[in-house]
Amino acid sequence: MTDTADTGTPRGKQRNPVARVLMGVLVFQLGIGGLLILGDMQGLRLPTFGPDAPRLTEPVRPGDQRRTFRPDRDRPVTQPARDPGQLPNRLVLTQTDGTTYRLEGGISAGDADRLAAMILQSDPRPETLILQSPGGSVQDALALGRTIRAEGISTQMLRGEFCYSACPYLLVAGATRDISPNASVGVHQHYFGQNTFLPAAFAVEDIQRGQAEVMTYLDEMGIDPLVMQHALSTPPDEIYVLLPEELERYGFIEAQD
């Protein structure tokens, strides 16, 4: 008897797109790994392709979605719902109204355990988290995201506010997700691993392990891992801003009738 998901689709076939993406990521990383090793041995820098990306203050249009990633300098062009001022370097949880809380700031090492404890101890317990973050620690974002999903907490983004880099992993963890069409969600390549003194050949293993964890996590959260094609092709000093139709396509938001 064929094992099927709730939709009646054979489970093996359902997983094939994920397997293809994982294989593509592996091939991509092996190629990058070879270039890194060559650069490590010969003191070379990887080339960059195409013109420099414009700043975040420039409007984003289909096919023109890569922007320089300087969150300390640039904000999306859309007028935000409120001026948050200078965001903190670590995540801050602030009650706004009843069971609605804001979760804002950079994602630092240790934030997952610290914020999970705060969420579980809050009275009243958060039911909705309004997110705004330039990103940070991927591992902490994944761990905190799993707490958000386990607690059945919804996530939200308001007009003109942003969620970049590792922040979308918190966003997709929401039991439900409410994203303003004028909010800005962006992805790019991540740094993985802690030891910068190892040769690049060893760093490749960290990259592959980290990307596998991210792909598994996205699949757990019901997000199409093909969104990673944009992340993998965008360097860490740039951000790829997802359009509303892409947020729908990859499962961040429900399809509109």
Chain segment 48-85, per-residue pLDDT in tens:
444 578 888 888 899 999 999 887 777 776 667 777 67
User: How many helices (H) and strands (E) would you count in the chain?
Assistant: 7, 9
pLDDT at position 178 over 80? yes
Q: What is residue 239's predicted lDDT score, i.e. its pLDDT?
A: 95
Please tell me whether residue 20 adopts helix, strand or coil conformation: helix
Q: Which helix (H) or strand (E) holds 146?
A: helix 138-150
Residue 82 C-beta-side C-alpha neighbours within 13 Å: 12
Closest among 151, 158, 138 to 210, alpha carbons compared:
138
> How much is the pLDDT for 255?
77
**Number of neighbouring beta carbons within 10 Å of residue 47:** 6
- pLDDT class of 129 with cuts at 50, 70, 90: very high
Q: pLDDT at position 59, please?
A: 86
- For residue 135, what pLDDT is reported? 95
- The reported pLDDT for the residue numbered 145 is 98
Q: Is the dihedral of CA 123, 125, 129, 130 positive or negative?
A: negative
Rank 39-53, 117-131, 185-199 by mean pLDDT and report only the highest. 117-131
How many other CB atoms sit within 10 Å of the CB of residue 225?
Answer: 22
Both tokens assigned to 158: 């308001």
